[in-house]
């Protein structure tokens, strides 16, 4: 990614120099850097608010209630994992945090869930179907409230930042369902080897 950005900057400077607009390129770089700092600082407030709300919801048991509601769905999707595995609850909590646009809060829970999934993985050198499914669903990032995006829109002075909620819900729902379907489809073509099969080989 660093090489890509470096390439884009160099091309922009060369193009600006050729067209006699090098000063405009330099001004754009400086103004963009200034705007990025302002956006970063404005995110602190909104992220602190939502993370605080998430902590309150966690302490009062709301997160656990939501997790229990979606736990039956989680069990069906991750049918290879025992029902009493702590991974099921961690996965449910990860999706709950992601649904509220709190990727930062979801990350440590997601890491814990992946560690639990690894315990049920027979082949420790490669990811299991459940781990691939969890990664695909987390990457799709289903969101009910895109808190981070709303914070960015507020920071740049957008008049109605909450109107992003409906299109975000639509797009992330399609991406989320597509991730599940594709992961289930690929599971039929890729059957992981068990330890006994590895010994026979």
Give the confidence band of 197 by pLDDT, cuts at 50, 70, 90: very low
Q: Which of 89, 81, 79 is nearest to 112 (CA)?
A: 89
Output the pLDDT for position 46: 66
Q: Which of 103, 104, 102, 92 is nearest to 65 (CA)?
A: 92
Output the pLDDT for position 201: 47
Domain ranges, ordered by start, for the chain = 2-16+23-191
Tokens of 1: 């990614």
Average pLDDT score over the chain: 78
Q: Which of 59, 53, 167 is nearest to 100 (CA)?
A: 53
Output the pLDDT for position 191: 62
Output the pLDDT for position 194: 52
pLDDT tens digits, 46-73 = 667 766 776 777 678 776 777 678 778 8
CA distances from 175 to 78, 81, 171, 183 (A): 18, 24, 6, 12
Q: Which of 79, 189, 84, 96 is nearest to 133 (CA)?
A: 79
Output the pLDDT for position 172: 86
Place of tokens 């103004």: 31
Is the model's pTM score more than 0.75? no
Choose from 136-140, 163-167, 174-178 the range with maximum mean pLDDT.
174-178
Burial class (CB in 10 A: 0-12, 13-18, 19+), 57: middle
- The rounded distance, in Å, linking the Cα atoms of 151 and 131 is 31
pLDDT tens digits, 140-166 = 878 777 777 777 777 777 788 888 888
What does residue 175 show for φ and ψ, rounded to 5 degrees? -65, -40
What is the chain's length? Answer: 201
Tokens of 60: 């009062």
């Amino acid at each position: 990614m660093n090489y890509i950005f470096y390439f884009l900057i160099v091309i922009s400077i060369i193009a600006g120099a050729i067209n006699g607009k090098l000063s405009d390129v330099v001004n754009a770089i400086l103004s963009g850097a200034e705007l990025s700092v302002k956006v970063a600082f404005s995110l602190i407030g909104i992220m602190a608010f939502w993370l605080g709300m998430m902590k309150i919801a966690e302490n009062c048991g709301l997160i656990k209630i939501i997790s229990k509601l979606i736990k039956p769905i989680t069990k069906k999707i991750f049918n290879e994992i025992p029902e009493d595995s702590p991974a099921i609850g961690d996965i449910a909590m990860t999706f709950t945090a992601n649904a509220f646009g709190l990727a930062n809060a979801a990350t440590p829970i997601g890491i814990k869930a992946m560690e639990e999934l690894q315990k049920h993985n027979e082949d420790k050198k490669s990811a299991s179907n459940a781990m691939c499914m969890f990664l695909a669903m987390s990457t799709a990032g289903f969101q009910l409230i895109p808190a981070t995006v709303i914070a960015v829109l507020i920071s740049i002075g957008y008049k109605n930042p909450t109107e992003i909620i409906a299109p975000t819900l639509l797009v992330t729902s399609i991406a989320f369902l597509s991730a599940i379907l594709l992961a289930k489809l690929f599971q039929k073509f890729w059957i992981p080897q068990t330890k006994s099969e590895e010994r026979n080989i």
